[in-house]
Amino acid sequence: MAFELQGVGLTHGNGFRALQRISIRLGRGERVAVIGPSGAGKTSLIRLLGVTTRPSEGRLNVLGTNPWQLPAGELRRLRARIGTIHQAPPIPPRLRVITAILAGRLGQWPAWKALLSLLYPVDIAGAQATLARFDLADRLFDRCDRLSGGQLQRVGIARAFYQEPDLFLADEPVSALDPALADAALGELVAESERRRAGLFASLHAVDLALKWFPRIVGLRAGEVAFDLPTGEVSNGLLRELYAAEGGVLPTQASEPAPLHDGGAMAEAMAESGDGTLAANVVRLDSCRGR
């Protein structure tokens, strides 16, 4: 089992209830996409699963254990088994790309090897091979502040690949990419999760990409699960209802890619504003089913 949530809720310190009564299970090697309007709680859910935020209520099991009952050392080892892909990768701008990639295994290496890697890269070939999957092998020794937002987002995915985790968590992993690159990057992510038999749980703003690449879809609205269904059972009516607060316009990758932004929510809101009609979006979504 990759993870299981039973009746999980999350209330922030200011009293805002971000998640409530969340019950979701992800089996080993299973792929699930979570979709929903901005502010639905998708990022909060990813943070809970990445054991960086503690739930306020309910039961959470990640990779066979309750993370919040573990001693500090075992909790660090658990986090090293989870590969989180962020919408805005938390990579220092002056860091070189190769160092950012190798950082994926810092939690698994002994201290001497981690320190040595900061001084001199210990696996140039491995980092370059991982970057080559995203057409970035030639940027291996560039500083990260010389990359575009889309290139930096692909570096973040490559770092998670290099980590070789047992569970992938992806929070809007392709929001800064154009449609062709986004589709290719998700294809690589799916292939890697299948190769490793690692669970993959991804928050996506582009509904068409979710329908194309994931056999199961969770719809999240106002911090609650609106539906949890096989992709083939996700109707256009369910999608329109899910995005009713946004005028029923379904966000798709046919729109311009969202800019990276530290706040996340602003980028998500801009991405999901859309510029097409509901009818046009539904046609695009229908074309993605059954691929």
| Whether the predicted pLDDT of 249 surpasses 50 | yes
The CA R_g of the chain, rounded to the nearest whole Å, is 19
Q: Which of the pair, 78 or 260, is modelled with greater confidence?
A: 78
Instruction: List all residues 6 or more positions away from 40 whose beta carbon is below 8 Å from its beta carbon.
Output: 220, 221, 222, 223
| Whether the predicted pLDDT of 178 surpasses 90 | yes
Residues 241 and 178: their CA atoms lie apart, in Å, by 27
| Whether the predicted pLDDT of 291 surpasses 50 | no
Residues 30 and 25: their CA atoms lie apart, in Å, by 10
What CATH superfamily is the domain 3-81+165-288?
P-loop containing nucleotide triphosphate hydrolases (3.40.50.300)
Query: What pLDDT, on a 0 to 100 scale, did the predictor assign at position 261?
Result: 37
Q: How far is CA 226 from CA 209, 218, 229, 242, 262, in A?
A: 19, 8, 10, 7, 28
Per-residue pLDDT averaged across 110-116, rounded? 75
Per-residue pLDDT averaged across 87-106, rounded? 92
Query: What pLDDT, on a 0 to 100 scale, did the predictor assign at position 245?
Result: 82
Quick check: 26 and 201 in contact, CB under 8 A? yes
pLDDT tier at 174 (50, 70, 90 boundaries)? very high
Q: Which of the pair, 47 or 106, is modelled with greater confidence?
A: 47
**Tens digit of pLDDT for each residue in 208-246?**
999 999 999 999 999 999 999 999 999 999 999 999 988
pLDDT tier at 265 (50, 70, 90 boundaries)? very low
Give the helix/strand (H/E) hosting 99.
Answer: helix 97-102
Domain ranges in the chain are 3-81+165-288
Strands (E), the chain: 3-11, 17-26, 31-35, 57-62, 82-85, 167-171, 199-203, 216-221, 224-230
pLDDT tier at 288 (50, 70, 90 boundaries)? low
**Tens digit of pLDDT for each residue in 7-45?**
999 999 999 999 999 999 999 999 999 999 999 999 999
Query: What pLDDT, on a 0 to 100 scale, did the predictor assign at position 259?
Result: 45
| Whether the predicted pLDDT of 138 surpasses 80 | yes
Query: What pLDDT, on a 0 to 100 scale, did the predictor assign at position 254?
Result: 55
